[in-house]
Amino acid sequence: MTTLSPVSVRDGTVPCLAPVSTPAILIRRTEYGDADLIVTFFALRLGKLSLMAKSAKKSARRFAGVLELFTELDIVAGAGRRGGLALLQEAALRNPYPAIRRDPFKTAYASYWAELVNDWMEEGIENAEVFLLLRHVLAALDTGSLTPAALSILFQMRLLRISGHCPHLGRCVICRCDIEGILADMLAVEIARGGVACPGCLPPEAGRHRLSKGTVKQLLWVAGGDLTRAGRMKFSPRALREGQAFLERFVPYHLGRVPRSLKVLHQLRGNDV
């Protein structure tokens, strides 16, 4: 594997003079003609990056079957070509995460996270924190060291913060009072305003989506700080239930659509939302 100089990429292609070598996670693959694949990575050094993998479909030897979704690879991205995608020159396996692809639930969660990264991250903007977050949740999903639901809360809260879409959970979205100082345990969720409201502004009636203050605290805790520490959070069963329901409504609302992979996840869980 060649090691080459870093470049800054900001316009959707790779306008560098030399190829770039970087760890990268495969988040999307699309067939292109009879022989080729277009592969989208989230790379440590280049951020989101779409490349043409020539003959990847036709020749089993070309990339030795390593271009599977959610695998972590060492790639060499070629120099950008005028009017076209840069070429994937080399790809060597780092972590195949095989247990994810064997399990439909794990595949659905990984697909959801990959779809959010693909939708929310701009092409060519380096963001090591997103790369390390995606690697962290995929590795834990693969080994089963944490439940998919807990990993998904960790992933969504941190990606929302990094991408500037973090829900407002520390203060009432209407009167701005500090949630910490409220006596009541339940808070009404006001998705359109991006967070929770105090009982004085919006009564947390049955039937309305609600979050307990305990869940709010756990969500805020995992959104920031050190990833390894946040990843050790033991969510209470209630926080898992409430947090998952809240985030899987909050994310589509602010994305402007329901991610296709989230619909699949809901179908698998039997809650066809």
Q: Which of 9, 172, 189, 262 binds Zn ion (CB under 5 A)?
A: 172
User: 140 φ, ψ to 5°?
Assistant: -70, -35
Q: How far is the CB of 223 from Zn ion (least distance, A)?
A: 21
Could you say which residues in the range 48-87 bind Zn ion, by CB under 5 A? none
Closest CA to 222 of 201, 200, 193, 244: 244
| Shortest distance, position 174 Cβ to Zn ion, whole Å | 5
**Which secondary-structure segment (H or E) carries 21?**
strand 20-32
Among 38, 174, 191, 268, binds Zn ion (CB under 5 A): 174
Question: At 214, phi and psi to the nearest 5?
Answer: -60, -40
Cα distances from 19 to residues 13, 66, 69, 252, in angstroms, run 12, 20, 23, 37
Neighbours of 61 (CB within 10 A): 8
Give least dist CB 183 to Zn ion, A.
13
Interacting positions 201-230 with Zn ion (CB under 5 A): 201
C-beta atoms surrounding 181 within 10 Å? 7
The CB-of-198 to Zn ion minimum distance in angstroms stands at 3
Evaluate whether 219 touches 169 at the Cβ level (below 8 Å): yes
Establish if 7 lies at the interface with Zn ion (CB under 5 A). Answer: no
**Please, which residue, 66 or 174, has the CB nearer to Zn ion?**
174
Residue 182 interacting with Zn ion (CB under 5 A): no
Binding to Zn ion by residue 175, rule CB under 5 A? yes
Q: Count the site residues for Zn ion by CB under 5 A.
A: 5
Residue 4: closest CA among 88, 75, 96, 93: 75
Report d(CA 35, CA 186) in Å as an integer: 56
User: In this complex, which beta carbon is closest to Zn ion, that of residue 116 or of residue 198?
Assistant: 198
Which residue number, 29 or 193, has a Cβ lying nearer to Zn ion?
A: 193
Of 5-13, 91-99, 194-202, 243-251, the window that binds Zn ion (rule: CB under 5 A) is: 194-202
Q: What is the total residue count of the chain?
A: 273
Backbone angles phi, psi at 124, to 5 degrees: 80, 10
List strand residue ranges (DSSP E) for 156-226, in order. 186-190, 195-197, 210-212
Is the Cβ of residue 4 or residue 174 nearer to Zn ion in the bound state? 174
For position 159 contacting Zn ion by CB under 5 A, the verdict is no
Write out the two tokens for 164.
């500037």
Q: Write down the least CB distance from residue 184 to Zn ion, Å.
A: 11
Of residues 159, 198, 219, 265, which one binds Zn ion by CB under 5 A?
A: 198
> Which residue ranges make up the site for Zn ion (CB under 5 A)?
172, 174-175, 198, 201
